[in-house]
């Protein structure tokens, strides 16, 4: 949950930086890409916070731990590659973003399976 808090703070700072410093100097398409990176960063950091609460209730669940890991990997690859492109990384670096997207989707599928499994386990008690 602490990492989620830090990620939310960073997303807030990047959003403000983008709006005030980058928007005036970036081409519109590049700024829109940056905004997408920030938006995904925000939503998944908030999701990570929710996963943290679930982990506190079920610290033994490996699926919840994997969800957190996959979200962190996905954010680094997806939003990180978009941020890197915004600041001048080579265009081929854009091929990293889809891998991050896959990691994020997989994270939420693992989360759903874990919650479903925990619910079934609780119902059988």
**What's the structural domain count of the chain?**
1
Whether 76 contacts 55, CB under 8 Å: no
What is the value of pTM for the model shown?
0.92
Q: Which domain holds residue 22?
A: 2-123
Whether 45 contacts 4, CB under 8 Å: yes
pLDDT tens per residue, the chain (125 residues)?
A: 999 999 999 999 999 999 999 999 999 999 999 999 999 999 999 999 999 999 999 999 999 999 999 999 999 999 999 999 999 999 998 999 999 999 999 999 999 999 999 999 888 87
Query: Which tokens in the block code for residue 103?
Result: 């990691």
CA 65 → CA 55, 59, 94, distances in Å?
7, 8, 28
């Amino acid at each position: 949950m602490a990492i989620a808090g830090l990620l939310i703070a960073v997303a807030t700072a990047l959003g403000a930086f983008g709006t005030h410093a980058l928007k005036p100097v970036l081409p519109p398409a590049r700024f829109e890409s940056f905004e997408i990176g920030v938006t995904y960063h925000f939503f998944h950091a908030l999701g990570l916070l929710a996963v943290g609460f679930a982990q506190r209730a079920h610290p033994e669940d490996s699926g919840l731990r994997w969800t957190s890991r996959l979200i962190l990997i996905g954010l680094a690859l997806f939003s990180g590659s978009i941020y890197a492109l915004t600041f001048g990384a080579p265009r081929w670096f854009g091929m990293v973003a889809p891998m991050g997207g896959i990691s994020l989707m997989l994270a939420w599928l693992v989360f759903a399976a874990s919650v479903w499994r925990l619910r079934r386990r609780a119902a059988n008690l």
